[in-house]
Amino acid sequence: MDLSVTLHGQTHDLVLKNPVLTASGTFGCGLEFAPYGDLKSLGGIVVKGISLKPRDGNACPRIVETTGGMLNAVGLQNDGVEDFCIAKLPLLPWRETAVIVNIYASSVEEFAALAARLNGEEGVAALEVNVSCPNVSCGGVLFGQDPALAAAVTAAVRKAAPSKHVMVKLSPNVTDIAGIAKSVEGAGADSISCINTLLGMGLDLRSRRPILVNVVGGLSGPAIKPVALRCVWQTALAVRIPVVGVGGIVNSVDALEFILAGAHAVQVGTGNFMRPNCAFTLAANLPAVCAEYGVKSLEALRNSNFENAPVQGVCVDLSERS
């Protein structure tokens, strides 16, 4: 069975040898996981979010395990774009598998500068734009929570990186994810990945204090999978560009559920922490699981039109489609 996927973008296509990518922030720059599997066996590697200048991130504790997931407020610690391009990218197998760079900035101009720097890197197949970050010039409003701001960032990256596929990673912490999706599609995004983490918090009753120094953090892991499936479904219905599903995927069945919901590809995130070979195993098992569930092609699965045939006994009202 051919598991290759092409994310047909408005400007650039992104060809993946299979639909299994890693999620930004959970796979380092990729090299950390090389001992646990063949990086070339993945459909793509989405590297840890990168900013124009090095960032130290937040104080510790900045991660905490929760039931079925984890909270993180790492604060995008990274060594900056120059370090990535010089020290890390050359070591990645970018000729054999797609390297997608997640980018983070605090202004539209900074996003553009970062995108322009990466546009010239042959080893970078695509940019994933993290719009779940505060816009310092607009009082800290998250780019991804405002359709106009999200569109402005997308357009700036699109213009600054004319030779790259531009994927925009959406936040679930919005009222209408489909509206944001349409905005970034209108601004030139080639694809959309969703979801980023859900905002949450953890408290310690003994100390009467928050567990994270940052108080709030992003929730990820299996606990958020139902939210992610819903967001992928709503987004895929709203836009024509491909959608990449992220959120609580830890095995091949999870991955196929996201494709059923409308995703063209998936990203494995917190699962990489559960076992460092999680993404590799998932990719290797995908053909067998497709056979087990009678999946003839990923495209056919995606076009299953499942909303018209609810499973008996599942008490979810799917009639209120936006």
Partner 1 sequence: MSDVACCRLPVLGITPFNPVNGDTRFFVLRLPRPSEPAWWRWRPGQFVMLRPDSFGLELPWGRPFCICHVTDGCLICFFQVLGRGTRRIAAIKPGDMVSLWGPLGNGFAMEADTPTLLLAGGMGIAPFVGYVNVHPKIWNVTMLFGHREIQEYYPVNNINEFIPLDGFLEHGPEDLQLFVDTVHERMRLCAEQKGLVLACGPLPFLRTVRDFARALKVRTQLSLESVMACGVGACLGCVTKTDQTWPVPEKRGRPVQICRDGPVFWADQVVI
**Catalytic annotation present for 133:** yes
Q: Which of residues 141-200 bind partner 1 (CB under 8 A)?
A: none
- Does 17 contact partner 1 by CB under 8 A? no
Does the protein bind partner 1 through residue 306 (CB under 8 A)?
no
Q: Does 27 bind partner 1 (CB under 8 A)?
A: yes
Contact 154, 123 (CB under 8 A): no
Residues numbered 64-83 forming contacts with partner 1, rule: CB under 8 A? 64-65, 67-70, 72, 74, 77
Q: Name the amino acid, one letter, at 136.
A: V
Binding to partner 1, residues 214-233 (CB under 8 A): 221-222
**Helix locations, the chain, DSSP H:** 80-83, 108-119, 147-160, 177-186, 225-238, 252-261, 271-274, 278-292, 298-302
The catalytic position among 133, 231, 278, 290 is 133
Which residues, at least 6 apart from 120, have a Cβ–Cβ distance to it below 8 Å?
A: none
Instruction: List the one residue out of 30, 22, 21, 24 whose CA is nearest residue 129.
Output: 24
CB nearer to partner 1: pick between 273 and 306? 273
Closest approach, Cβ 271 to partner 1, in A, equals: 8
DSSP 66-95: ETTEEEE-----B-HHHHIIIIIGGGS-TT
Residues 260-289 that bind partner 1 (CB under 8 A): 270-277
Contact window for partner 1 (CB under 8 A) among 21-29, 134-142, 146-154, 188-196 = 21-29
Q: Quick one: 29 or 155, whose CB is closer to partner 1?
A: 29
CA angle, residues 96, 27, 219, in degrees to nearest 5 = 140
Give the angle 301-302-304 at the CA atoms, nearest 5°.
Answer: 65
**CA atoms of 284 and 98, how far apart (whole Å):** 17
| Residue with smaller CB distance to partner 1, 45 or 239 | 45
List of residues contacting partner 1 (CB under 8 A): 26-28, 32-36, 48, 54, 56-57, 60-65, 67-70, 72, 74, 77, 221-222, 250, 270-277
Give catalytic residues, as residue numbers.
133
